[in-house]
Structures are given as C-alpha cells and as structure tokens.
Amino acid sequence: MSEPEELTGDVRLMAELALGRTLAEAAVLAGMSARSARRRMASADFRGTLHEARQEAMGVSLARMGALVPQALDTLEALLGAESESVRLGAARTILGMVPGVRLNEPEPAEKSHDGLTLEELQELQRARLKDLSTEELESLCANIEERRKRIGIFPEFSGGGGGAA
C-alpha cells in the first residue's frame, strides 16, 4: 500500500482527514486549495467514504492497542516487584485504575483534560468508539483482559464468560 506522502488529490485529502488532520492541513498536504477541499466535503459521497475510512482507522488503532495490552500488563506486573516503593505504588495505582468501579483520585467532572474535554466527554467518546467494535473484537479484548486479571490476581473470581454482546 502507498504511504500517505505518495498520495495526492482526493485520496490524500481523505487519508489525512481520516488521520485527524484539520481540513486546512489536509488540503495543503493533498496539494489542493482549502476551497477545493471544502467542495469535496460538501459531497455526501465523499463524507460517507471519509466516515468509513475513519471507522477503519479507528478499528486498526483499537486492534493495535488491544494487541499491546498483554505486554503492558506484563510490564506493570513486573513493576509490582520493583525495589522502589514509588514505582510499585505507581504500578498498583495503574492496575487498580483499570478495574471497573475502582476510582483513585478521580478529577472533578468539570476539570478539563489535556485535550480540552471534560472527563465525562472523554468517557462518552470512549463509549462511542467501543460501540464500533465488532462482537469478535470485543470478545477478544475481554478475553485478554480477563486472562491478565487472573494471572496477576485481580478479581480472580470474576468470570468474563457472560460475553453479553450478541
């Protein structure tokens, strides 16, 4: 597959927009004027294809992140045995922060995050992104999390076998 730098025109515009660039940034990178880019965005077909491209990019990103979860948990597990008490505490807080229902020093809901969104807005965004995962992707993600939880002793009695998603 071509790298985005090798693409031009509408294809490059769509690729850059799917990766999160602004319309103006994407237009420059695609070698077109902002006016031309706005005309493309006026097309329902272009917007529909862009939506599909963004969904695909999100799916790829989530799959990559899911594949890194076991390695990240292994690292946290190893850090629980570190000599430094602050390192062990940081690892424990991180692990406990991943457990549903456990809240550690949660900021006030109105507090803004690093990207200007409130905690509630970030949670809503995360829920919306998870809705786009297929049942198979969700089951795989849950199975990986459950396997790691059991391995490091977090809620070993929890059974993720309920699946839920049908």
Q: What is the pLDDT of residues 107-141, one digit of tens each?
A: 555 454 445 666 666 666 666 666 666 667 666 76
**In this predicted structure, which of 10-14, 46-50, 98-102, 162-166 has the lowest mean pLDDT?**
162-166
What single-letter amino acid sits at 118? T
Q: Summarize pLDDT for 9-19 with one digit per residue, the tens.
A: 888 998 889 88
Contact (CB, 8 A) for 12 and 31: yes
| Averaged pLDDT score across all residues of the chain | 75
Cα–Cα separations (whole angstroms), residue 136 to 15, 162, 165: 26, 14, 9
**In this predicted structure, which of 57-66, 78-87, 98-107 has the lowest mean pLDDT?**
98-107
For residues 155 and 150, give the distance between their C-alpha atoms in angstroms, rounded to a whole number. 7
- Residue 136 DSSP label: H
**In this predicted structure, which of 11-20, 57-66, 138-147 has the lowest mean pLDDT?**
138-147
| Confidence category of residue 145, pLDDT binned at 50, 70, 90 | low
**The pLDDT of residue 152 is above 90:** no
- Tokens matching residue 64: 């990559």
Specify the higher pLDDT residue, 55 or 141.
Answer: 55
pLDDT at 34: 93
- Tokens matching residue 144: 């990986």
For residues 130 and 67, give the distance between their C-alpha atoms in angstroms, rounded to a whole number. 16
